[in-house]
Structure 1
Amino acid sequence: MTPITEVEGRRLALTNLDKVLHPATGTTKGEILHYYATTAGALLAHICDRPVSFLRYPDGPDGQLFFTKNPPPGTPSWVRTVSVPRSEDKNARQVVVQDLPTLIWAANLVVEFHVPQWRVDEPAIADRMVFDLDPGAPATIAECCDVALWLRDRLAADGLYAYAKTSGAKGMHLLVPLEPTPSERVSAYAKSLAVEGQASLPGLILHRMTRSLRPGKVFVDHSQNAAAKTTAAPYTLRARTEPTVSTPVTWEEVEDVTARQNLVFRLGDIAPRLARYGDLFGPLINLNRARPLP
């Protein structure tokens, strides 16, 4: 019998709560739903008012994975969807996760949450910039930290604030709050910094995803600033062997060379971090931190 639960007045059928989705840790779907329920305040702050794309992994990370921007079949009528530009001459509908019932409904589908750098009321007008730092083995997150520090200081020279999080996979994400700016301009600026980084640190930074050049270096992926692209949201679980989370980190953690290899956080780590630090990405939704793009 499928359990029915009520979340803020919405009745939800939650399925397969005992199903193990991360065999390496024995993490069940019920534990994943509990994680999202307890971190909802922080997560919702960063995905509300943005069209959400889902990477679904209903049978765990070793099963079939599929990425969808369209509302999944069976989406309840009370789930908010909006029309967003999908191409020059076509719009499509996407889900907006605004509240706890929608979050738990989506989490029950077993998904990663991905969002663009713009809000639904201003498509292709970015209010933040992102750099995805992707290490090529044998480089690790430690090398990503060095690149993140270079980018932080370079952005500061242009009057911009940067905030770091683990990707929840191998690398890191840097996000920068902006005054609303066309995505094309943000993309061009981000690319220029990646190119400058490669010129400054050619042994460490790449600005193009050239496979033959990747070993031992960090690819600074600026492409996710394009209006059509998305990035894993802060606090989303990832479809990895273990239930890792894309986790905001302090700059002290990034600077601490001895701690860098431990910058891997699982779902059980997040509530204690929120209790200790609060939402380290809070400044991204603080308009006082948004700055104009140079």
Structure 2
Amino acid sequence: MGDTTTVRVEGRLLRLSNLDKVLYRGAGFTKAEVIDYYSRVAPVLLPHLAGRPATLRRYPDGVDGPSFYEKNVPRHAPEWVRTVRIETPGSARGNEYADFVVVEDLATLVWVANLAALELHVPQWTVGPRGGRHSPDLLVFDLDPGLPATIVECCRVAELLRAELENDGVPVFAKTSGSKGMQLYAAVEVSSPERTSVYAKELAQRLAREFPELVVSTMAKAARPGKVLIDWSQNNPSKTTIAPYSLRARATPTASTPVSWDEVEACERPEDLSFVAEEVVVRVTHGGDLFTGLHDEPARLPA
């Protein structure tokens, strides 16, 4: 278990440890397989991490053990790992800032995978080459089903949201959360950092009024059984969302997987839109990145 292996990744020397450690006990999925998965999806994953300060969710003893969110870069990080200092007002630990990792090359991705950072969470905004923070470039809706609702109900809500967004001239892309729900993304240009939150909240509340049997827009647990929460709050600049292609800490190594609208419309069972690492690699190999084009023509949100 304590064995280490030194590998060269894009000219960087990396020491990998505990490669045979099982991180997904239910599937016998090891750290070596986690690193292999991330290496194989790197061409489609890295564009969605580039320029975005990453919050790592680490599981050193696997998904059945304790986990922790890591914003500050570990002290033993190689000097070539890009970091960016971001103010963190209201931090639970009282820190004024954190030095986040920016994962934008294969060597850094392999390095964080070796930390057992199974989940990669990023904000809806990027930083510039010198760390300057840009306005949000993504609008996101997180669809969270309240039991007994499942991703099937999320798909029906996603179709409603898509119709509203496209009516406003906003093209939208869909992905599974890799857990119970799904997320919708749209590339946008905004005049103020708050604009995406305001727009998302208004749209979520409108659909909750129009489809009260299916949609809720408030966090109250009591309101959610059998319905889908449209979580508009993910657009708060201080919040992050699971990155496309990131693994999730479930019983099996599922991943947050971009899906086509044909797949969304055809979804009738939760299994229809649940993908584990090996399936995601096959999808990418044969179909490329279904989020290609997301940033091609950012939409102007209506005033």
Alignment TM-score, normalising by the size of structure 1? 0.96
2:210 corresponds in structure 1 to 200
Question: 1:181 Cα deviation (Å)?
Answer: 4.3
Matched AA of 1:293: L
1:107 corresponds in structure 2 to 113
Question: 1:92 Cα deviation (Å)?
Answer: 2.9
Per-residue displacement from partner, 1:43-67 (whole Å, max 9, x unpaired)? 1010011101111111111101111
- How far apart, in 1, do the equivalents of 2:292 and 2:208 lie? 30
- How far apart, in 1, do the equivalents of 2:267 and 2:275 lie? 17
2:301 corresponds in structure 1 to 293
1:128 corresponds in structure 2 to 138
- How far apart, in 1, do the equivalents of 2:290 and 2:270 lie? 17
Question: 1:211 Cα deviation (Å)?
Answer: 0.9
Deviating more after overlay: 163-172 vs 115-124: 115-124
2:175 corresponds in structure 1 to 165
Question: 1:183 Cα deviation (Å)?
Answer: 2.7
Work out whether residues 51 and 96 of structure 1, in 8 Å CA contact, stay in contact via their aligned partners in 2.
Answer: yes
- How far apart, in 2, do the equivalents of 1:261 and 1:217 lie? 19
Match for 2:51 among 49, 54, 57? 49
1:3 matched to 2:5? The reply is yes
Per-residue displacement from partner, 1:71-127 (whole Å, max 9, x unpaired)? 123111110111222229944321111100000000111111100000012526110
1:228 matched to 2:238? The reply is yes
Work out whether residues 59 and 116 of structure 2, in 8 Å CA contact, stay in contact via their aligned partners in 1.
Answer: yes
Per-residue displacement from partner, 1:124-160 (whole Å, max 9, x unpaired)? 6110111100000000000000000000000001000
1:178 corresponds in structure 2 to 188
In the TM superposition, 1:63-74 aligns within 5 A as 63-74=65-76
Q: Which residues of structure 1 form unaligned runs of 5+?
A: none
Matched AA of 2:88: R
Work out whether residues 5 and 11 of structure 1, in 8 Å CA contact, stay in contact via their aligned partners in 2.
Answer: yes
Q: Which residues of structure 2 form unaligned runs of 5+?
A: none
RMSD across aligned positions (CA) = 1.5
Work out whether residues 138 and 186 of structure 2, in 8 Å CA contact, stay in contact via their aligned partners in 1.
Answer: yes
SS in structure 2 of the partner of residue 125 of structure 1: coil
Distance 1:21 1:44, change over 3 A: same
Alignment TM-score, normalising by the size of structure 2? 0.93
Deviating more after overlay: 267-276 vs 211-220: 267-276
Work out whether residues 183 and 225 of structure 1, in 8 Å CA contact, stay in contact via their aligned partners in 2.
Answer: no
Deviating more after overlay: 181-190 vs 23-32: 181-190
Query: Number of residue pairs matched?
Result: 292
- How far apart, in 1, do the equivalents of 2:232 and 2:108 lie? 30
In the TM superposition, 1:240-251 aligns within 5 A as 240-251=250-261
Work out whether residues 145 and 226 of structure 2, in 8 Å CA contact, stay in contact via their aligned partners in 1.
Answer: yes
SS in structure 1 of the partner of residue 256 of structure 2: coil
Work out whether residues 267 and 273 of structure 2, in 8 Å CA contact, stay in contact via their aligned partners in 1.
Answer: no
1:116 matched to 2:157? The reply is no
1:139 corresponds in structure 2 to 149
